[in-house]
Structure 1
Amino acid sequence: MLLGYVRVSTVEQNEARQIEALKQKGVNPENFFIDKQSGKNTDRPALKEMLAFVRRGDCVVTESISRIARNTKDLLNIVEQLQCKGVEFVSMKESLDTTTPQGKFMLTIFAAMAELERDSILQRQREGIEVAKAEGKYKGRQPIQIDKSLFESTVADWRAGQITARKAMEIVGLKPNTFYRRIKELNP
């Protein structure tokens, strides 16, 4: 059975491109496992579900190795788990097939290259931020501006039990962490 693994880093990102590529490869949409979270660790629900579901003779297909893991160690561990179950792994972008010794070798090389690319991007980003800070152009994230009187009256209504916390957050336009942090700032 062909199984497809799809991952995007955030809920806002769209997985349609990956899904279409897997359909073109012949993966039935009913056999997709989709995660919408960072690949920096392997604690992802759909990945765990897929690893528990696969059986000998199955083949896991992904659009790119960066979708299944962000670092070499995690990728090799996942592929090893699949191989122990008699499951093949195919990455479309890198044209990798782990059923051959050459494919296994290339998997290691491409995984290391993907990790290097990710680390290089993060390093350049940090360097750019440092330069911008030194030039006074980077100030970090700006605090969310809210109407103080609206916030205080909404919090008073919430404390009086007239509205729920969720409704209060909706009124002032804040997410829970920011809402409760602002309450602490209001009454230290």
Structure 2
Amino acid sequence: MKIGYIRVSTKEQNTIRQETLMESLGVDEVYIDRMSGKDTHRPELQKMMAYVRRGDTVIVESISRFARNTRDLLELTEQLTAKGVEFISQKESIDTTTPTGKFMLTVFGAVAELERAYILQRQREGIAIAKEQGKYTGRKPVEHPEFDEVVRRWKRGEMTAVQAMKKLGMSRSTFYRHVRGEAEKHHKGEAWKGYPK
């Protein structure tokens, strides 16, 4: 059987282009994941890996749809090879039934990982420049609608800090960081005296 695997990063992205390709290649079964490819813990990928049998061929549009780093790519293709399953990546013209195809698989996997590393490096450099220019403020802090009320009750002794953290869904460090932040906003110029534990 020809088994197709399709992945898009988000639910909003369209799978039609990849599905049309699979149809043109005469694929019998298609598995579709709508999530990041950062690791191999994808439900449809796992189902497909369990489903394939000796003599089957797994087809993907490109390596990046199947795996995001060389290690995952090689581990997945090794699992397929151990089951007697062929692997074809249409974009890169890779076919693991040939020695050349196996070599190209390793090369393309390494190149894809290198490109991703370059992208992340450029992002970090861009953030560093934006910080220097005062244009980058980082992620917005998480705001809980009941935070002020819960803190007031905690300060009045109506609940413990642990109960307050649980109600707000915050860790100890996050809770006290937010409390300090609020205190500094309301008491600028005053020394931080702390709150009850």
Cα displacement string for residues 97-137 of structure 1 (whole angstroms, at most 9, x for unaligned residues): 11000000000000000000111111111110111111111
Once superposed, what is the RMSD of the aligned Cα atoms? Answer: 2.3
Which residue does 2:134 correspond to in 1?
A: 136
Note the 1:58-77 alignment, pairs <5 A: 58-77=56-75
Which residue does 1:9 correspond to in 2?
A: 9
Which residue does 1:82 correspond to in 2?
A: 80
Which residue does 2:96 correspond to in 1?
A: 98
In the TM superposition, residue 139 of structure 1 has moved relative to its aligned partner by 1.4
Cα displacement string for residues 22-54 of structure 1 (whole angstroms, at most 9, x for unaligned residues): 2222214xx111112221111111111111100
Q: Percent identity?
A: 59
In the TM superposition, residue 16 of structure 1 has moved relative to its aligned partner by 2.0
Residue segments in structure 2 that go unaligned for 5+ positions in a row: 150-167, 180-194
Which residue does 2:185 correspond to in 1?
A: none
Of residues 34-43 and 13-22 in structure 1, the stretch that sits farther from structure 2 once superposed is: 13-22
In the TM superposition, residue 140 of structure 1 has moved relative to its aligned partner by 2.2
Which residue does 1:127 correspond to in 2?
A: 125
Cα displacement string for residues 65-113 of structure 1 (whole angstroms, at most 9, x for unaligned residues): 1111111111011001101111110001101111000000000000000
Of residues 13-22 and 78-87 in structure 1, the stretch that sits farther from structure 2 once superposed is: 13-22
What is the distance in 2 between the residues matched to 1:125 and 1:18?
28
Give the greater-gyration-radius structure (CA): 2
Cα displacement string for residues 124-181 of structure 1 (whole angstroms, at most 9, x for unaligned residues): 11110111111111112345789xxxx56xx9xxxxxxxxxxxxxxxxxxxxxxx856
Could you tell me which amino acid in structure 2 is paired with residue 14 of structure 1? N
What is the distance in 2 between the residues matched to 1:45 and 1:145?
32
After the TM superposition, which parts of structure 1 deviate over 4 Å for at least 4 consecutive aligned residues?
143-146
| SS of residue paired to 2:54 | coil
TM-score by length of 2: 0.71
Q: In the superposition, relative to structure 1, how do residues 80 and 144 fare at CA in structure 2: closer, same or farther (>3 Å)?
A: closer
1:48 aligns with 2:46: yes
What is the distance in 1 between the residues matched to 2:17 and 2:136?
34
1:114 to 112, 115, 122: 112
What is the distance in 2 between the residues matched to 1:120 and 1:42?
22
| SS of residue paired to 1:124 | helix
Note the 1:151-170 alignment, pairs <5 A: 151=145
What is the distance in 2 between the residues matched to 1:50 and 1:144?
38
In the TM superposition, residue 6 of structure 1 has moved relative to its aligned partner by 0.7
What is the distance in 1 between the residues matched to 2:140 and 2:21?
39
Could you tell me which amino acid in structure 2 is paired with residue 94 of structure 1? E
What is the distance in 2 between the residues matched to 1:24 and 1:128?
41
What is the distance in 2 between the residues matched to 1:53 and 1:145?
44
| SS of residue paired to 1:35 | strand
| SS of residue paired to 2:22 | helix
Could you tell me which amino acid in structure 2 is paired with residue 26 of structure 1? G
